[in-house]
Structures are given as C-alpha cells and as structure tokens.
Amino acid sequence: MNSIDEKLQPVLNTVIHRNAGELEFHQAVREVLESLGRVISKRPEFAEDALIERICEPERQIIFRVPWIDDQGDVQINRGFRVHFNSALGPYKGGLRFHPSVNIGIIKFLGFEQIFKNALTGLPIGGGKGGSDFDPKGRSDGEIMRFCQSFMIELHRHIGEYTDVPAGDIGVGGREIGYMFGMYKRLTNRYEAAVLTGKGLSYGGSRARTEATGFGSAYFVERMLGTRATSFDGKRCVVSGSGNVAIYAMQKILAFGGVIAACSDSDGYVVDEAGIDLALVKEIKEVRRGRISEYARVKGAGCHYIKGGSIWDVPCDVAMPSATQNELTGHDAKTLIANGVIAVGEGANMPCTPDAVQIFRNSGVLFAPGKAANAGGVATSALEMQQNASRDSWSFEETEQRLATIMHNIHDACAETAKEYGAPGDYVLGANISGFVRVAEAMRALGVV
Ligand code: NDP
Ligand code: 2IT
C-alpha cells in the first residue's frame, strides 16, 4: 500500500535531491506519489511529458525581506514567502502562515497539498501558499499592523484577482487580512476585493468563511461515519488545537450531537469531563487571545490541564487533529486505537505522521486525509471570490448549504475513486487520485508550460 511505483521513484529522488533538507515537502510529495502508481497503470498518458515531475516543481517561488519597527523603536527583520505552485485550474490560491517555524520547506509542503485540495473542491482555483517566520505571539496590535503592511508592500506585486489570491492559515485571521487588504488597496489604488479572502463582512468578506474549515471537516467526518451507519451523535471527540479550525470543528460536532472531551494549544491540553464549554474557549482564544490553561483555571473541578504531554492519550471515539503538521505520531495512533477510536479526521494539514496514517489505514479506522477533510475553508474562499466577482453577498444559510454540498461531493468523490482504483474505504488514495486526475487533465490540455 505504501510503496512507490518504480516509474515514480526517480521523480521522488529528484525532489529530494533538488529540495535538500525540506523534509515536510518530501513527506507530502511521497504520500501523493505512493497513490499515483495505480493511476499511471490505468492512464499511462499521465506519465508522459514529465507531467508528474512538473507537478512537483513550483511554477515560481518568491522569498523576500520584511523589515518592520517594533514598539520599542527597534528594527526587526523577518522572511516572507509565497510559492506559486500550480495554476492549471485557476489563479494560485492558498493561505498565509505566520509562525516562527515557517521556512521554504513548510510553505512548499502546504502549497503542494493545496494543489490537490483545491482540485477536489471542483472550483477554479490553482495551488499556492505563503507566509513568514514572524511570531505574532505577544505582539501588540500596532506591531501586527506594521508587520502586515510591510509584508504586503513586497507581496502586492505578486498577487491579484487573476494571479494569486492569498487567505489565512496559522497566525493569520480576519485582523491580519484586514491590515493586508488595506495596504494592498493603498498601493494599487484599486478596490480589488477578490485579491484576498477571509475578509471581514464590512469590506467584501463572505459569511461562513470563518466557520468554513472546521464546519467542513465535521461535515466530511459525519458523512464518513454514515458509511458505517453511525454519526457524531453521542460520540466522545477529541479536537487538538483551539484556533480557527478547531473551534468551528467543535461547534459543528456539538451541533451534530457529539461531546468534546478535550482540546489544546501549543503549551498543553485541557480535559473537561462535562464536555468542553466552547463559549469559554472562544472567549479565551478569540477575544482575550490567551492560553488554553486559563480554561482549567476558570472551570475548576471536573476539568484538568496537562502541560505538554499528548492530547491523544485522552480516550475518544473520534479524533480531529486540527493544530499543525506531524502532531499525531505512530505511537499516538496506537494509543487511540487501543482506546477504541473509530474515526480520525484531519482538520489541519498533514497532522498525522506517515506511520500514523499507515497504522490507521491498516487498522480499519475511518481516516479522512486533510486535503479532503479541510477543503471547506478554501472552497468557501472560492465562494467569497464568486460573491466579489458578482458584487453580491449571500446569506449565512445559503453559503453554509453550498459548503455542505461541496463537502459531501468531496467525500463521495474520494470514496468512489478509492473503489474504482481497487481500494474501497481508502480515502487517502481516493483524495490523492481524484485531485490529481483533475489537475493532470488540465495540465495535458495546456501543453508543456
Ligand atoms: P490558528 O492559528 O487559528 O490556530 C492554530 C492552533 O494550533 C492553535 O491552537 C495553536 O496553538 C496550535 N498550534 C499551532 N502550531 C503549533 C505547533 N507547532 N505545535 C502545537 N500546536 C500548534 O490556525 P488554524 O486553526 O487556521 O490552522 C490550524 C491547521 O489547519 C493548520 O494546519 C492549517 O494549515 C490548517 N488549515 C487551516 C485552514 C483555515 O482556513 N484557517 C484551512 C485548511 C487547513 P498556539 O496558539 O499555542 O500556537
Ligand atoms: O490550508 C488551507 O486550505 C487554508 N489555509 C485556506 C486557504 C484559502 O485560500 O482559503
């Protein structure tokens, strides 16, 4: 199941050689290539004209200096990135991540995943990603604004409604998008709403975009549970993280009748035997921008905070890793299975290590890969672009309904493709093949570019 076709091994070798040290990028490419052996035996035309080699090589990579002045008056320097990975299906589309761990390898892994994710949505968006090693933690609002403005002074020449449309990711939410849009508007003297998504409702944003990634991942998992004639109703769930994706995944799981046993941030996790109180998590994270440890301090009895440690030690029926890459290891996968987990849905990008993914796939646990399960965010970004293009604004209900339909379609396409390629129930294979075929068909039609 996880070996590479001999025709594709040289492609991986070249990627590793050409992108030395970019381990997360190698990991993302390897996982997709492992799925493609079955495609090229059925459709050999996709192995022609170095198509797969071209998919693994970004169309363009931009790295730039971001100077800004902190509250003490000192000059700070960060590094900015934007990778234009693949534009066969539409303008480059993908988020911006501000986190100290960001480097070119991280941005390339995310950009590569984004190509197939965006293809899965069925909407006209290519794949890209960007960000900075800037650490927003502990920074004042003024510092965040000055950083975003400086970042956009350089980025603006590389983006545009028909070129590249960034959005949020870790460390980038509505506040940051607002500051970046303001500077883009000033620099270009254009009210080009669809140049960024995740905007506020007062200046061209879409209803339900904030909720979309988390809601979408819950919709996907609910449908996946349906294939085993079950649902979230009454299930005990663990969701890692307490950021944008985690919060709205928890909200929709609660609406589906599930109970949230635990959530986390990068310092530790909280377990609440009464079920996580989402209003309190939102108050701590969205309003106070505080730490999840405060949750246990406020709640007291029946609730405990574990600094460090692994949230995957908490027994659950459904696990939704929704924080960051490689946060759930093979050891964690074994613990979850021993504790009776029945489904795992990746809210984050590549949160499960390759051995964890393999353990889940071999064990018969339902496993939803990130590029399918978290595609609701970028799909709703594409709906935001549609609303901007038609100068329209849809209701929350209409937008959410479209999101739900898109997630159900992605689920069904992954399930059907897995069956067609001889691996029923294997959503990893289904997502990789189904996304790849859509991009590959367009790339063939466009010639060698
Ligand atoms: P946020 O910045 O809103 O939240 C991130 C959460 O994950 C926080 O709780 C954060 O804790 C935790 N976290 C981040 N980095 C680490 C780390 N290195 N170790 C442990 N915990 C960490 O980001 P999002 O919720 O937007 O993103 C979460 C994941 O979902 C990412 O993988 C992102 O790529 C993916 N994603 C996001 C989409 C979106 O629309 N926003 C769409 C699709 C995927 P702390 O506050 O302590 O840093
Ligand atoms: O990883 C992702 O899909 C995102 N961060 C959202 C990208 C987008 O353009 O909305």
What pLDDT digit, counting tens, does each position of 328-360 carry? 999 999 999 999 999 999 999 999 999 999 999
CA 378 to ligand 2 center in whole angstroms: 5
Q: Label the pairing between strands 164-167 and 303-307.
A: unpaired
**pTM as predicted:** 0.98
pLDDT of residue 40: 96
Residue minimizing CA distance to atom 13 of ligand 1: 323
Domain ranges across the chain: 1-57+425-449, 60-206, 211-368
Cα 365 to Cα 111, 337, 340, 410, distances in angstroms: 28, 8, 9, 19
Task: Tell me which residues have their CB closer than 6 angstroms to ligand 2.
Answer: 93-95, 114, 117, 167, 169, 197, 349, 377-378, 381
Measured from the CA of 168, which atom of ligand 1 is nearest? 41
Q: Which two tokens stand for residue 45?
A: 């035309």
Measured from the CA of 113, which atom of ligand 2 is nearest? 1
Q: Which two tokens stand for residue 175?
A: 């506040």
Q: Is 252 a catalytic residue?
A: no
CA 58 to ligand 1 center in whole angstroms: 24
Domains 60-206 and 211-368 fall in the same CATH topology: yes
**Per-residue model confidence as pLDDT tens digits over 183-217:** 999 999 999 999 999 999 999 999 999 999 999 99
Q: 74 φ, ψ to 5°? A: -85, 145
Question: Quick count: other Cβ atoms within 10 Å of Cβ 192?
Answer: 18
* Confidence at 236, pLDDT banded by 50, 70, 90: very high
Catalytic position from the list 108, 117, 129, 285: 129
Between CA 214 and CA 375 the distance in angstroms is: 10
Measured from the CA of 375, which atom of ligand 1 is nearest? 43
Averaged pLDDT, 402-416: 98
Measured from the CA of 375, which atom of ligand 2 is nearest? 3
Task: Count CA within 13 A, CB hemisphere, residue 129.
Answer: 25
Pocket test for ligand 1, best of 97, 137, 139, 244 (most atoms within 8 A of CB): 244
CATH class of 1-57+425-449: mainly alpha
Tell whether the model's pLDDT for residue 421 goes beyond 80: yes
CATH class of 60-206: alpha beta
Ligand in nearest proximity to the CA of 172: 1
**Per-residue model confidence as pLDDT tens digits over 212-232:** 999 999 999 999 999 999 999
CA 169 to ligand 1 center in whole angstroms: 7
Residue minimizing CA distance to atom 4 of ligand 2: 95
Task: Tell me which residues have their CB closer than 6 angstroms to ligand 1.
Answer: 95, 99, 101, 168-171, 213, 241-246, 265-267, 322-324, 327, 347-349, 374, 377
Average pLDDT of the chain to the nearest whole number: 98
Q: Which two tokens stand for residue 14?
A: 């070249």
CATH 3.30.530.20 is right for the domain spanning 211-368: no
pLDDT of residue 329: 98
CA 373 to ligand 1 center in whole angstroms: 15
Residue minimizing CA distance to atom 44 of ligand 1: 348
Task: Say which amino acid occupies 263.
Answer: C
| 10 three-class SS | helix
Tell whether the model's pLDDT for residue 26 goes beyond 80: yes
Q: Label the pairing between strands 259-265 and 236-239.
A: parallel
Averaged pLDDT, 430-443: 98
Can you list the positions of beta strands (E) in 4-125?
60-69, 75-86, 92-98
Q: Which two tokens stand for residue 119?
A: 């293809």
pLDDT of residue 188: 98
Between CA 273 and CA 259 the distance in angstroms is: 10
Q: How far apart are the first and last CA of the chain?
A: 32
Between CA 288 and CA 337 the distance in angstroms is: 36
Averaged pLDDT, 58-79: 98
pLDDT of residue 377: 98
With the CA atoms of 263, 264, 268 and 273 taken in that order, what torsion angle do they form, in degrees rounded to the nearest 10?
-10
Contact 147, 67 (CB under 8 A): no
Between CA 115 and CA 436 the distance in angstroms is: 8
Residue of 397, 388, 375 lying closest to 212 (CA atoms): 375
**Per-residue model confidence as pLDDT tens digits over 284-316:** 999 999 999 999 999 998 999 999 999 999 999
* Confidence at 396, pLDDT banded by 50, 70, 90: very high
Tell whether the model's pLDDT for residue 2 goes beyond 90: no
Residue minimizing CA distance to atom 3 of ligand 2: 378
Contact 96, 168 (CB under 8 A): yes
| 105 three-class SS | helix
- The continuous run of DSSP H or E covering 271 comes out as strand 268-272
